[in-house]
Amino acid sequence: MKDLGSLMKQAQAMQQKLADAQAKLAELSVEGASGGGMVKVVLKGSGELARVDLDDSLLQPGEGEVVSDLIVAAHADAKRKLDEKQAEMMREAAGPLAGMGLPGMPKF
């Protein structure tokens, strides 16, 4: 039973670390880019699009479709980076209990 008590304490500590990691994620922001940096977007930790920066050379008549495609690509780049960062932070918070399949615990 001593091992079960130790496991429960580890699980409680991990839950606190996960809560702390989620708070840090809320403050996180990542930048994605496309078109060689001609389009940049910033996503908040929640996934909310916070900013779009466009190179002035894209603001020409007839470039609308290109700009749209580049914005989508930059958003996908930022989303991939955000997902990686979130997974990394959660794995760090979960520590040795990550992926054990415990009820209520995330699997990475």
Closest CA relative to residue 74, chosen from 45, 35, 48 = 35
Residue 50 has pLDDT above 70, yes or no: yes
Closest CA relative to residue 50, chosen from 34, 69, 28 = 28
Q: Which DSSP symbol is given to 30?
A: E
Confidence of residue 39 (pLDDT cuts 50, 70, 90): very high
Residue 71 confidence (pLDDT): 94
Q: In whole angstroms, what is the distance from residue 19 CA to residue 13 CA?
A: 10
Closest CA relative to residue 79, chosen from 51, 38, 53, 48 = 48
Give residue-wise pLDDT tens across range 97-108.
Answer: 666 555 555 554
| Host H or E run for residue 43 | strand 39-44
Confidence of residue 5 (pLDDT cuts 50, 70, 90): confident
Residue 89 confidence (pLDDT): 84
For residue 16, give the amino acid letter.
Q
